[in-house]
Structures are given as structure tokens and as C-alpha cells.
Amino acid sequence: MIKNNNFLEIPNINSKDANFKELIYEVDDSLFNAYNNSKKDFEHLCVCSGGTTSSCAKDGFTTLDLRKNYSNIHLDRESNLVKIGGGVIMGDLINYLQKHNRSFPIGLSKLPGAGYILTGGVSPLSRSYGLAIDNIESIKGFLGNGSFISLKNNQINPEKQLIWEAIKGAAAFFSIITEIELKTIQSNPIKVIEGFVNLNELSEIIKLSEEFPENISLQWIYAQKIYIYVFAELKNNLEDKRTEEYLMLLDKFPTLEKNFYKNFNNINFFPKELNLYKMNSNNHSEVISLLGEDLKNDIPIFINCLNEIMNNKPNNSCYVASQQLGCKTKKSNHGSSFFVHRKSTWKPWIYASWKKNDLQEKEVAMDWIYKSWSNLKRFYPNIHLAQLHNHLNSHKEELSLAFGGRMNELKTLKNIFDPQCILPPL
């Protein structure tokens, strides 16, 4: 164990600055015994797989850092299934797969760890290949009561079925996953149409995108200015011709540029001038991710709402962004995971940032994030729980909006398999 005089080297500044109690690297009996034998109140265990979340380290809490001992990656060349440790960073995964002309639908950032997969995993490739959780073939790990668990798709007995479904979307509340086996995909060329646009152009592009085929998706961000990505995977001549017909609809927007990439792995999303992923060590932040269906006739109303939100943002580090789901993500078996909002087309997120230790600015920024969320609920009524917010007042509402009708099942699993609440609370 490492005491807290050493800091945790991670992307999330909130957690990096935490005065944590202990840092541990191994999942074994001593970890669970320490908690289960405790006769006093204790804080739950924080788990770090990639370190992009504000919940992976906290003042006075112990953090389990999976990156050191659970970072193996192995591709089976016959099945094209890849096994990864629970501490594998998504950028390392696709860099490894690239050597074998394979890929995986990671998100817009290469920084997250396996938590990206286990919380759902929304990618520009999701419309063709489903969410990250839809590509899980097997898992290994430990339940909160210390029991080892090993599950493989299509080989699960009925009493383990609920655990298997809940791990895909809600694993963090009752389990520690140390190994995941994933389907990989053929690495295909990618064409990206990208650039800065104004609000009216964004409105037109959103309308076009809701008719896109599955191999095309829209990503946009509204920071100080609006930047969009229309992402198209090129697969075969017949499909590529259809793709070009859709992409030609974007020729009318003069600021957009076409870029060609050999594969998905080569793309770095969002231009450097937006300063989004250059972590500012002086700022803390929070992010809330939403889910909703097609905007359709509500696009103009949404655009007006978005403009009002951005006019009221407290500082230039705050922004709203969105990714497009649909197609394959809607066709997957709705009962197969705890990502219950399968009708969703859009995953927007609201990002608020403030100078660390400035409690007044933090209060203003968090007030903005909650007001923005409230204003966007009419379009995006549900939550994608990509970040755990048990330290925020919104935690219970987020849980309810994330898991819907499966919330009681999750509570049951929590009571049975994490009775001492070793892992983050519900």
C-alpha cells in the first residue's frame, strides 16, 4: 500500500488532488476482509481504471488502482476476441489492436479505462456495432462480498443471468471487474467532415443526421464556438456510394472540411484550439450525461434552448456537447443490459468547470449545470451514468433516470452481493 503523501497520476484533476487514505493495487482477500471485518462506519472503496472520473479518489477514501496489475491485452487471432484487464486505457487498447488491423468502438477520448465499457460505452461507431457493453463476451472479477465471478456470454445459468445483465451498465455498484473479453471489429477507413459552424447550420445538420444510415454519425460541441464531426466508416463499394450521397448534403456548409483516415484509431477528436482535453491543473469539473430520442420537429426549440444555456454559462471552460446513437444500439435486445434507454438517439453532456478551491465559483458553475440539465430534460429526459455522482445532491435522481424500471433489481443485487457497501452506494 502507498500512503497519501504520494498523489494519484490521473487525468481527472478533482481526484488527482484528493487527499486519499490509501492507494492499493491488488484485488485479494485482504481487501474484502479489511472492509467486512470493520466494526465501525467506513467509506466505500473508490476504483480507478483510467482515472477520468471525479469519483476514483476522494478525501479520506481508499482507492484501488487497477492500472498497474490489470493492464494486460491479448488478442486471439482465430476468434478476434481480445481480453483486457480492468485497468486498460482505451487508447492503449486501440493502439494494440491497430497492429492486427482490428479496432474497437471507443469513445471520443482515448483517456478512459475499462469503466468506459462497463458504463455503456458510446462511440462514433456505436450505430454500426452497438454500445461497448454489447460487445462484451466474458468477464472475470469479484463481487462486493469477495466472491470471485467468471461469466461468459451464452454460457450463463439462469441464477447468474441478472448479474450478467447488470454488469453491463451498473457493474461499479456491486462488483470489481478485473478482466473483460471483447469482440473486435475490422479496421476500416474513415471519412470525417468537420469544422466550425453557427447555430443555424447546427440545426440543419442535426436534421440531416437523424436520417443518416448506421455507418454515419454526428458529434458536436458548443464551447466558445460550435464544432461538428460527421463521422463515416467506409466498408464496401456499394455502401460507400450511399455514404457519399449523404455526405454530399454537407457540401453546402462552406466551413466544413473533409479528412480521410486510414482507420478509427488515427482520429483525435476536437481541435486543439478548444482546449478541452488539455487538462488544466488549476480547474476542477463535473459532467452530467443525458439521453434522449430524435429531436425531429423540436430541433428549432432545442437550438434556442441551447443558445440560452450557452449565453448563461459562468466561464469559458463550460460547454455542452453531444454524440449520436441509434441504429444498432436500438436493435439490441432491450433486456440484455442495464443500459435501459435503447430508444435513445442522442447522448448530450453538460460540462462545468471552475478554479479549484474557489467555492463560490464552484457553486455558480454547479448551479449552471443543474439549470442547464433542467432546461434540456424536455428533449433528453434520461441519464447515461458514465460518471458516478454519489458525492452530488443529484445522485439519486440520476440513478432513477439511468436505470428506470431496473432500479429495484439493482438494489437487490447490491443488498445480496455488496451487503457491507464496500463499493459506491445507491
Length reported for the chain: 426
The predicted-structure confidence for 172-212, as pLDDT tens digits, reads as follows 999 999 999 999 999 999 999 999 999 999 999 999 999 99
Mean pLDDT throughout 329-351? 89
Q: What is the pLDDT of residue 37?
A: 65
Lowest mean pLDDT among 26-40, 45-59, 88-102, 145-159: 26-40
The predicted-structure confidence for 362-396, as pLDDT tens digits, reads as follows 999 999 999 999 999 999 999 999 999 998 999 99
Highest mean pLDDT among 5-14, 113-122, 231-240, 280-289: 113-122
**pLDDT cut 90: percent of the chain above it:** 77
Mean pLDDT throughout 409-426? 94
Angstrom distances, CA of residue 250 to CA of 95, 212, 323, 420: 31, 12, 18, 55
Residue 12: which pLDDT band, with cuts at 50, 70 and 90?
A: confident
Let me know: does 51 contact 15? Beta carbons within 8 Å: yes
Between strands 46-48 and 62-65, the pairing is: parallel
Residue 334: which pLDDT band, with cuts at 50, 70 and 90?
A: low
Mean pLDDT throughout 304-329? 95
Mean pLDDT throughout 256-274? 85
Residue 270: which pLDDT band, with cuts at 50, 70 and 90?
A: confident
Please state, in angstroms and rounded to a whole number, the distance separating the CA atoms of residues 268 and 336: 32
Strand pairing partners for 265? none
Mean pLDDT throughout 301-325? 96
Mean pLDDT throughout 393-416? 96
Q: What is the pLDDT of residue 132?
A: 97
Q: What is the pLDDT of residue 364?
A: 97
Residue 278 in this model has a pLDDT that exceeds 60? no
Put the strands of the sheet holding 216-222 in their side by side order: 257-261, 190-197, 226-233, 216-222, 319-324, 346-355, 283-291, 382-383
| Inter-helix orientation angle 199-209/299-311, to 10° | 140
Residue 108 in this model has a pLDDT that exceeds 60? yes
At 64, which helix (H) or strand (E)? strand 62-65
Output the nine-digit C-alpha cell for 162: 441478472
Please state, in angstroms and rounded to a whole number, the distance separating the CA atoms of residues 322 and 209: 12
The predicted-structure confidence for 61-77, as pLDDT tens digits, reads as follows 999 999 999 999 999 99
* Average pLDDT score over the chain: 91
Residue 322 in this model has a pLDDT that exceeds 60? yes
Q: What is the pLDDT of residue 207?
A: 97
Q: What is the pLDDT of residue 346?
A: 98
Q: What is the pLDDT of residue 111?
A: 92
Output the nine-digit C-alpha cell for 185: 471489429
